[in-house]
C-alpha cells in the first residue's frame, strides 16, 4: 500500500521557519515588518573567504574530495581545535559535513541504537529532538529554569540517567538562552558523564560569539576521561557568517569518525569542495572580521538588555553568548489585550505580528511555552524600531 514512513511523519515542521516565512510574505506585500526571527548573522561573508571560493573555482577545485573532507581542511580544523579549544585531535578524528545540522545527524546515526536515550537540557534548539528521533533515539528532557539561568546542574543530569542513557547534548553558548556554562559547571557535568559512562555531544556552534568576561570552554578539554566520551561539534556558519555555505565539522574518537565518514560516504559524499576551500580560509586566514562581528553583536545585546529590563510584564537574563535574547513573557500571558485574554505564547506572537508588525519566535518548540526568542542578528536601527513597537504593545495590556 502507498503508506508513508512513520518516522518521517513524526517529524515536526520547523516553526522558526514558518514565522519567518509569514513575516517575509508581509514584507513582500509592502508591510514594514521588523523580524526578530533571524537565526543567522546579518553580515556578508568576509571578503577573504569569498575570494578563496572564487580562487577554488578558477583553479578547478570542483571535484570530489575525500568523503570526510579534504586533508588540508581537516588539518586546519585540528589546528583550530588545538589553539582555540585546547583539544587534541588528529586529521582522522575529524569529519567535515554539510553544516552543523548534518554533523549532528551523523553523530546520532553513529552512536544510537533503537531506544537509546539522549538527554536534552531544556530550553533546547528545536532540531535536537527531531534529529535524535530520526536516528531512532528517545529524547529525555531536563528542564533548566530561569532561576538557574537556564543551565542544568550535574545533580539534575544524574537524576535523569537510566540504564538506557547513551548521550547528553550540551549546547554552550546556548540557542535560545544565550547562556554559557562555566568551567566549574562543565567539570561537574563531565564527572557525571564519566561516572555513568555516556557520550557528550558538545554543540559549540556559537563558540566565537561570547561576550564580556565570559569564556568559551570545551568540555572535552577538561580531562582525558571526558575527552574520550565527547564528540565536539562546530562549524563556520555562525562565527564567520557562512550559513549558506554549509560546512560543519566534528572532532571525536577515530572509531566514531570512521563510522560517520562511512555513513556520509553513502548518503551525501563530501561536502561541497568550493565551500571547503572557503572554510579553510575562514579558519587559517585573518580573524579580524570575526571580532568585528562579535563586537557589533555585543553592542546590540547591551542595548536590548537595557531596553527589555525597562519594559512592563517581560524580563530576560542578559545573554552571555550567541545572538538571541530569551524573553520571559509569563506575566504578560495573564493580561488581556483589547478585552481578550492573551492565553498563550503563540497568541502573543500572533498579536505582535498582526497588530504591531513585529515577528518573534514563540519558544514552545524550544521547550518553554512562556518565552519568546528575539534575535539580534539585525541592525541596531531595526532593533530600536522593533523594541519600540513591543513596548507599545505591552503598554496596551491590562
Ligand atoms: N547548533 C545550533 C545550536 C544552532 O542554532 C544551529 C543553527 O541554527 C546549528 C547547530 C546548525 O548550524 P548549521 O547552519 O551549520 O547547520
Question: Which tens digit of pLDDT belongs to each residue from 316-353?
Answer: 999 999 999 999 999 999 999 999 999 999 999 999 99
Give the domain range for residue 139: 49-284
Closest to 135 in 3D by CA, of 285, 7, 49: 7
Are 202 and 230 in contact, with CB atoms under 8 Å apart?
Answer: yes
Q: 115-134 b/e with 16+ CB inside 10 Å = b?
A: ebbbbbbbbbbbbbbbbbbb
99 CB near ligand 1 (under 6 Å)? yes
Same domain, 74 and 155: yes
175 CB near ligand 1 (under 6 Å)? yes
H-type helices in 86-165, by residue range?
100-111, 127-134, 154-160
> Residue 104 is part of a domain; what is its CATH number?
3.40.640.10
Same domain, 193 and 260: yes
Same domain, 354 and 220: no
How many domains is the chain partitioned into structurally? Answer: 2
Pocket test for ligand 1, best of 95, 127, 174 (most atoms within 8 A of CB): 127
Same domain, 266 and 374: no
235 CB near ligand 1 (under 6 Å)? yes
ipTM: 0.99
Please identify, among 231, 254, 284, the residue that sits at the C-terminal boundary of a domain: 284
DSSP 364: G
Please identify, among 233, 252, 284, the residue that sits at the C-terminal boundary of a domain: 284
Predicted confidence (pLDDT) at residue 20 exceeds the cutoff of 90: no
Q: Kindly give the distance from the C-alpha atom of residue 288 to the centroid of ligand 1, in angstroms, as a whole number.
A: 22
**pLDDT for residue 371:** 98
Same domain, 194 and 123: yes
The predicted model scores a pTM of: 0.96
Decide if 62 is inside a domain. yes
The set of residues, in sequence order, having a beta carbon less than 8 Å from that of 251 and lying 6+ positions away, is: 77, 78, 81, 87, 89, 93, 94, 220, 231, 232
Same domain, 273 and 332: no
Same domain, 16 and 65: no
Question: Which tens digit of pLDDT belongs to each residue from 70-92?
Answer: 999 999 999 999 999 999 999 99
DSSP 389: H
Please identify, among 284, 309, 335, the residue that sits at the C-terminal boundary of a domain: 284
Same domain, 63 and 124: yes
Sign of CA dihedral 309, 313, 317, 321: negative
Q: What is the DSSP string of 52-91?
A: HHHHHHHTT--S---TT--HHHHHHHHHHHHHHH-----G
Predicted confidence (pLDDT) at residue 307 exceeds the cutoff of 80: yes
**pLDDT for residue 21:** 81
Amino acid at each position: 500500500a502507498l503508506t508513508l514512513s512513520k518516522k518521517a511523519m513524526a517529524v515536526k515542521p520547523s516553526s522558526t521557519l514558518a514565522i519567518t516565512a509569514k513575516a517575509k510574505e508581509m514584507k513582500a506585500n509592502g508591510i514594514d515588518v521588523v523580524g526578530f526571527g533571524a537565526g543567522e548573522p546579518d553580515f556578508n561573508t568576509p571578503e577573504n573567504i569569498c575570494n578563496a571560493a572564487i580562487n577554488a573555482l578558477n583553479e578547478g577545485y570542483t571535484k570530489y574530495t575525500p568523503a570526510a573532507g579534504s586533508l588540508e581542511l581537516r588539518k586546519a580544523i585540528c589546528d583550530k581545535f588545538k589553539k582555540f579549544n585546547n583539544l587534541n585531535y588528529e586529521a582522522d578524528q575529524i569529519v567535515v559535513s554539510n553544516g552543523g545540522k548534518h554533523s549532528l545527524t551523523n553523530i546520532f546515526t553513529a552512536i544510537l541504537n533503537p531506544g537509546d536515550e539522549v538527554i536534552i537540557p531544556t530550553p533546547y534548539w528545536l532540531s535536537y529532538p527531531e534529529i535524535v528521533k530520526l536516528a531512532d533515539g528517545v529524547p529525555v528532557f531536563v528542564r533548566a529554569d530561569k532561576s538557574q539561568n537556564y543551565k542544568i546542574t550535574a545533580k539534575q543530569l544524574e537524576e535523569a540517567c537510566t540504564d538506557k542513557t547513551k548521550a547528553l547534548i550540551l549546547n554552550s553558548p546556548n540557542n535560545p538562552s544565550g547562556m554559557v556554562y562555566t568551567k566549574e559547571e562543565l567539570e561537574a557535568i563531565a564527572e557525571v558523564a564519566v561516572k555513568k559512562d555516556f557520550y557528550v555531544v558538545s554543540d559549540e556552534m556559537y563558540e566565537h560569539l561570547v561576550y564580556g568576561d565570559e569564556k568559551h570552554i570545551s568540555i572535552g578539554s577538561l580531562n582525558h576521561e571526558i575527552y574520550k566520551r565527547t564528540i565536539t561539534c562546530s562549524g563556520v556558519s555562525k562565527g564567520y557568517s557562512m550559513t549558506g555555505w554549509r560546512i560543519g565539522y566534528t572532532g571525536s574518537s577515530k572509531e566514531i569518525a570512521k563510522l560517520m565518514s562511512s555513513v556520509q560516504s553513502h548518503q551525501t559524499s563530501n561536502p561541497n569542495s568550493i565551500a571547503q576551500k572557503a572554510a579553510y580560509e575562514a579558519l587559517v586566514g585573518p580573524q579580524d572580521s570575526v571580532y568585528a562581528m562579535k563586537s557589533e553583536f555585543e553592542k546590540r545585546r547591551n542595548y536590548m538588555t537595557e531596553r527589555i529590563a525597562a519594559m512592563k510584564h517581560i524580563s530576560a537574563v542578559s545573554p552571555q553568548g550567541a545572538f538571541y535574547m530569551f524573553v520571559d513573557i509569563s506575566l504578560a500571558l495573564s493580561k488581556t489585550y483589547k478585552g481578550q485574554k492573551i492565553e498563550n505564547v503563540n497568541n502573543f506572537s500572533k498579536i505582535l505580528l498582526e497588530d504591531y508588525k513585529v515577528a518573534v519566535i514563540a519558544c514552545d518548540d524550544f521547550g518553554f511555552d512562556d518565552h519568546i526568542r528575539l534575535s539580534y542578528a539585525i541592525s541596531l536601527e531595526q532593533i530600536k524600531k522593533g523594541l519600540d513597537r513591543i513596548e507599545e504593545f505591552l503598554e496596551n495590556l491590562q
